[in-house]
Amino acid sequence: MEAIRVERLAKDFTYYTKEVGIKHSLKNLFYRKTLIKNAVKEISFSIEKGEMVAFLGPNGAGKTTTLKMLSGILFPTSGELSVLGFRPYERKKEFKKQFAIVMGQKSQLWTDLPAAESILLNKYIYQVDDRQYEQTMEELVDLLDVRQILNVQVRRLSLGERMKMELIAALVHKPKLLFLDEPTIGLDIVTQRKVREFLKYYNAYHRTTIILTSHYMKDIEDLCKRTLIINEGNLVYDGDLKRIDDVLNETKIIRLKFAEHVVPERLQPFGVVREANGYQATLEIAKDRIRPASRDLLSVFPIEDITIEDIPIEEVVVSLYRRDQQVPV
């Protein structure tokens, strides 16, 4: 069953240019040059109920604009849009009670009040009955292990503790759709892992549809089987993130450790030298040359250790951002 269906969705913004100075300000009163920014360009996709999908894109790609249309904040210029059976831009009360947004850089909690107060306020906003509220709170508080800090002022909580409270506040009315915008930004590695574990469990148990944006590839790799990538308003990829490496990446990394000093220039015939300090080197070599190159390197140089790795997924995604065409899946 589809939770979200998008067909040829587009959003244009109109803006004006103005040169500096009083003369140009007066001129602007009578004539302004109108420009149009095509923020989102007729993208189409669908998301099934219970899916956890990553939504990636560089700054200015149209990612945030798309999420705002999905949540009803912005009205689309053209195209069809259905979220949980509603048209989001109609902003019906029944629709607004079925989704939630958690933003890593923007809080919904009152900083001078205990988190429990803000969560209780959400109970009344979403008209959650007492029994459901108590059951949901018990579950979330135990899963996130925050019972001892519920009544502590939010401003006295650590960043990780605050994010856990943000998740509770967003989930207290059991939304069917959850938008997560950089939920682990600024968190330490341990807290990031705990938040990911919680989201993985919650998605599997409650079948909540989740759309996640993050610049941490670990979040995407651990949580999402499917990734949507938008660039310059176009949807350029829809599929498994690991498939991007197979489609785009035609090279591998070879890391070398030498028993004796090796002049970096001697390595250039074997591939692109990324790093070299005499006793260690990193080369980028075409996939189809890995075997012969490895054999030649071992025969020519005093190598103590050699490892072969894939290009980091972050680099592959960045290379995709630079492409105009869609990637076949």
CATH number at residue 116: 3.40.50.300
Share of the chain above pLDDT 90, in %: 47
Q: Is the dihedral of CA 67, 70, 74, 78 positive or negative?
A: positive
> What is the tens place of the pLDDT at every residue in 60-104?
788 889 989 999 999 999 999 999 999 999 999 999 999 998 887
CB-count burial class (<10 Å; 0-12, 13-18, 19+) for 265: exposed
Same-domain status, 148 and 296: no
Look at residue 126 in the predicted model and tell me its pLDDT: 92
pTM for the predicted model, two decimal places = 0.77
Same-domain status, 192 and 89: yes
| Residues 168, 148 contacting (CB under 8 angstroms) | no
| Tokens at 234, concatenated | 């176009």
pLDDT band at residue 247, thresholds of 50, 70 and 90? Answer: low
161 has pLDDT over 80:
yes
Asked whether residue 128 is domain-assigned, the answer is yes
Q: Among 276, 283, 282, which Cα is nearest to 262's?
A: 276
What is the rounded distance in angstroms from the CA atom of residue 224 to the CA atom of residue 211?
9
| Residues 3, 48 contacting (CB under 8 angstroms) | yes
Instruction: Indicate the residue among 245, 275, 290 that finishes a domain.
Output: 245
Same-domain status, 120 and 148: yes
323 has pLDDT over 80:
no
Asked whether residue 150 is domain-assigned, the answer is yes
**Which uninterrupted H or E stretch holds 128?**
none
Asked whether residue 327 is domain-assigned, the answer is no
Look at residue 33 in the predicted model and tell me its pLDDT: 77
CATH number at residue 291: 3.30.70.1150
Domain that holds residue 25: 2-245
What is the rounded distance in angstroms from the CA atom of residue 81 to the CA atom of residue 69?
8
Number of independent structural domains in the chain: 2
Choose the weakest-confidence range: 59-68, 148-157, 159-168: 59-68
270-273, Cβ contacts within 8 angstroms, sequence gap of 24 or more: 270/296, 270/297
Same-domain status, 44 and 151: yes
pLDDT band at residue 6, thresholds of 50, 70 and 90? Answer: very high
Instruction: Indicate the residue among 224, 245, 266 that finishes a domain.
Output: 245
Asked whether residue 146 is domain-assigned, the answer is yes
Same-domain status, 228 and 297: no
Choose the weakest-confidence range: 10-14, 72-76, 106-110, 269-273: 106-110
β-pairing, 33-48 vs 2-17, is antiparallel
